[in-house]
Amino acid sequence: MITTVLLDLDDTILADDLATEAAFMATALQAHTVAGVDPHELIEHVRTFAGREWREGPFPEWLDGIGTSGIEGLRARFDGEHENWAIMREFGPGFRRRTWEKALTAMGVEDINLAWSLDVLFEHERSETNPWCAGADEALALLSERYRLGMVTNGIPDVQRVKVEATGLIDRFDAIVISGEVGQGKPEPAIYHHALQLMGVAPEETIMVGDNYRRDVLGPQELGIRGVWISMGRDLPNYGQPWLVVESLADLPAVLESL
């Protein structure tokens, strides 16, 4: 008997990739207005330099393990109680500004003030842009009528907290578990054990729903949690076997009701 549904956040409930692209474009268009740069080219340079700076910064392996990246770091304040966040708070402002400075320089624009303003603008645009995946809002309402809901998401604590607070999701879950607060990310067992403990439930009465096959399906299934993969039109990988496959979160309530 299923009593509890754990859910991923990014590209399961909220359209994270779409939101990031929109924030990048809004920021790059401002750079185009001020300095005449090509917005698409600027975005590509920002992505490139963010990746390089991130890999050369503190704890790249740990950050990869909690499922974050330089792109997420471009909007982060790096709040959090884990000891590594104190170091990241020192690294973060310089990382963010250097990324925009180098991206502009690569396009022949030497303007520190513009780079710094783009840094501020990108954080603002990304914080204000949190679209729902189609049908996800309604799906959560239906699921909450039958099950307890928990969230298990990878990411930087303050970045993920901004999303759940801005969208009202914080009030719709019995527990919200963020990898950057736990210190380990999906698919590691520790983050799922933590979620189960917070919820006070056993693995066999729990399902995990998400779009990442390894992190959201195969990882929790090793602990006895049934995995539901959101395929978004993708073919099922030729390894492992999810408990259920649905096209999107919008489809899940009806599928569970039919079981």
pLDDT at 109: 98
Return d(Cα 246, Cα 148) in angstroms, integer: 20
For 18-78, give the DSSP string.
HHHHHHHHHHHHHHHHHH---HHHHHHHHHHHHHHHHHTSS-HHHHHHTT--HHHHTT---
29-84 pLDDT, tens digit each: 999 999 999 999 999 999 999 999 999 999 999 999 999 999 999 999 999 999 99
Return d(Cα 3, Cα 14) in angstroms, integer: 23
Return d(Cα 170, Cα 178) in angstroms, integer: 12
SS3 at position 236: coil
pLDDT at 119: 98
Return d(Cα 199, Cα 25) in angstroms, integer: 39
pLDDT at 60: 98
Return d(Cα 224, Cα 54) in angstroms, integer: 35
Return d(Cα 245, Cα 253) in angstroms, integer: 12
What is the residue whose two structure tokens read 């792109």? 71
Return d(Cα 10, Cα 156) in angstroms, integer: 12
**Tens of pLDDT, residue by residue, the chain (259 residues):** 999 999 999 999 999 999 999 999 999 999 999 999 999 999 999 999 999 999 999 999 999 999 999 999 999 999 999 999 999 999 999 999 999 999 999 999 999 999 999 999 999 999 999 999 999 999 999 999 999 999 999 999 999 999 999 999 999 999 999 999 999 999 999 999 999 999 999 999 999 999 999 999 999 999 999 999 999 999 999 999 999 999 999 999 999 999 9
pLDDT at 57: 98
pLDDT at 122: 98
* Cβ(171)–Cβ(190) below 8 Å: no
Q: How far apart are the first and last CA of the chain?
A: 11
Write out the H or E segment, with its range, that includes residue 8: none
Q: For 191, which DSSP code?
A: H
* Cβ(40)–Cβ(28) below 8 Å: yes
Domains of the chain from N-terminus onward: 4-15+131-258 (3.40.50.1000), 16-128 (no CATH)
Return d(Cα 215, Cα 83) in angstroms, integer: 24
* Cβ(39)–Cβ(64) below 8 Å: no
Residue 139's nearest CA partner among 172, 113, 93, 117 is 172
pLDDT at 38: 98
pLDDT at 105: 98
Q: For 207, which DSSP code?
A: E
pLDDT at 257: 96
